[in-house]
Amino acid sequence: MNRLNKPVITMETIKEMEDMSFFIHAKIFDDLLIVAQKQTNCFILKTSEGLIVIDAIWPAKEAFGAIIDAIKDVGWNPETIKKLVLTHGYVDHTGCGKWFVEKYHVNTYLSEIDDNFWREHPTKPDRPETWKDYNIDVYIRDGDTITLGDKTIYVYDTPGHTPGGLSYIFPVKEGGEIHMAALWGGTTPPWTKDEVKQYIKSLDYFIDEAMSKKVDVALSNHIAVDNGLERIMYSKARMDYMPNIYIIGQDGFNNFCQVFRTLSYEILERL
């Protein structure tokens, strides 16, 4: 049986983050929509008072258009988008947020540390078109909550991938049943020993918090780590009797996090 214990990440993976020729989306819970391009993805959480967008793919008009089209396709109203919540200050997640600000006047959320990091250390220093291009309205940190209507997102400081990276836990619904979903914000481990150690510390902390919140749904903002595209395709064509592939149980979430640990140990060995 073919089973991997770590994702395949190459130069091509990095390049594909800028490829705007392909988008796919699926409603993976009654109140959660995922929109992906070839490597990265965002989520749209539906609340009783409007929509929350979590991460924003790449700073390209095509990405913004794809997210709006996906929202319309599942019968939701983009005019009700109220918030844009970011995991961290890298361009493949801050993405096309400026159009959400311009068109829908969303409130934007990120840690203060990563807001500064985003401005002072652009992911692509030699390419001004990818630099910080919109403001953060609300600085969030560990222990904070973001509430809109009937939904609350719990905020966790998980530095490592970036100095002010955040991860989130929030409820999602399927057929009247509530599940707790966790989004590990900064996917790949960083490149210095101290940073990787910090990354592992954050991971341990987040797993503990996820266990206490009874997280049974694993989400990722990079499709390379969770068979993201395949899970979206499965969800699009899922038969009624089939399980929701995102619901993997509490042990499953723990196992999911092992992928990040494996990647970290591999980097530590090389340093």
State which residue has the least CB distance to Zn ion: 92
Q: Which residue has the tokens 């919540």?
A: 85
Q: In angstroms, give the least distance from the CB of 90 to Zn ion.
A: 5
Distance CA 133, CA 96 (A): 9
Q: In angstroms, give the least distance from the CB of 161 to Zn ion.
A: 8
Which part of the chain contacts Zn ion (CB under 5 A), choosing from 25-33, 71-79, 84-92, 115-123? Answer: 84-92
Under the criterion CB under 5 A, does residue 92 sit at the interface with Zn ion? yes
- The β-bridge relationship of strands 138-139 and 107-110 is parallel
Distance CA 68, CA 78 (A): 6
Question: Which of 3-21 are b and which e, b meaning 16 or more Cβ less than 10 Å from the residue's Cβ?
Answer: eeeebeeeeebeebbbebe
Q: Count residues binding Zn ion (CB under 5 A).
A: 1
The DSSP secondary-structure symbol of 244 reads P
Which part of the chain contacts Zn ion (CB under 5 A), choosing from 26-34, 88-96, 119-127, 166-174? Answer: 88-96
Question: Structure tokens of 118?
Answer: 């985003």
Please give the backbone phi and psi of residue 263, each rounded to the nearest 5 degrees, phi first. -60, -40
Nearer residue to Zn ion within complex by CB, 49 or 195 = 195
Q: What residues from 141 to 180 belong to the interface with Zn ion (CB under 5 A)?
A: none
Cα distances (angstroms) measured from residue 161 to each of 184, 185, 186, 189, 269:
11, 9, 5, 6, 18
Nearer residue to Zn ion within complex by CB, 90 or 104 = 90
Residue type, position 87, single letter: T
Q: In angstroms, give the least distance from the CB of 124 to Zn ion.
A: 13
Nearer residue to Zn ion within complex by CB, 18 or 92 = 92
Nearer residue to Zn ion within complex by CB, 108 or 221 = 221
Which part of the chain contacts Zn ion (CB under 5 A), choosing from 22-30, 85-93, 109-117, 236-244? Answer: 85-93
Q: In angstroms, give the least distance from the CB of 185 to Zn ion.
A: 9
Query: How many Cα atoms sit within 13 Å of 94 on the Cβ side?
Result: 26
Under the criterion CB under 5 A, does residue 226 sit at the interface with Zn ion? no
Q: In angstroms, give the least distance from the CB of 42 to Zn ion.
A: 11
208: buried, middle or exposed (CB in 10 Å: 19+, 13-18, 0-12)? exposed
Nearer residue to Zn ion within complex by CB, 86 or 181 = 86
Interacting residues with Zn ion (CB under 5 A): 92
